[in-house]
Amino acid sequence: MTATASTVRATGLYRRLQHESRAAAADPVELVTMLYDELEVAIGVLAAMVRQGQRVSATEPAHRARAILIGLDAGLDREAGGDVAEALSRVYRSMRRKLDEVVAANDEAGLRDLLDGILTVSNAWRQLR
């Protein structure tokens, strides 16, 4: 069964509320994990919207996804992280460019590709636990 945009949005809202309650006690690794969760939801909502024939540029999920990518990049400790932080920064900037392209083109396949890349980085991050 394919999720509708409204179902994905409602699920995202529920998850966001759960995350907000967890955020107060979360450590830095958990906070970044929560951002990845939110990014995955936002991209999922965008893909569902495109499947339903909606335009996704200038929508809340598009703005949220972009803001999360900017936040992940800005939150990198380049001094302590060295080459790893710089590599992640390049990945986040590339993801932002891809997001901008696929949102402008209303490209569902591009959103799925972007989500695959996000999941790869997210899964690697989760291995830190």
Q: Which domain, by its residues, includes 53?
A: 5-126
Instruction: Tell me the mean pLDDT in the region 50-59.
Output: 95
CB 22 within 8 A of CB 37: no
Cα first-last separation, the chain = 32
CA distances 47 to 26, 40, 112, Å, are 29, 11, 7
pLDDT at 72: 94
- CA 107 to CA 99: how far, in whole Å? 10
pLDDT at 2: 58
- CA 3 to CA 26: how far, in whole Å? 30
Give pLDDT tens digits for 8-42. Answer: 666 666 666 665 655 555 678 888 889 999 999 99
What's the CATH number where 60 sits?
Answer: 1.20.120.340
pLDDT at 27: 75
User: Is the pLDDT confidence value at 123 over 70?
Assistant: yes
pLDDT at 11: 64
CB 91 within 8 A of CB 121: yes
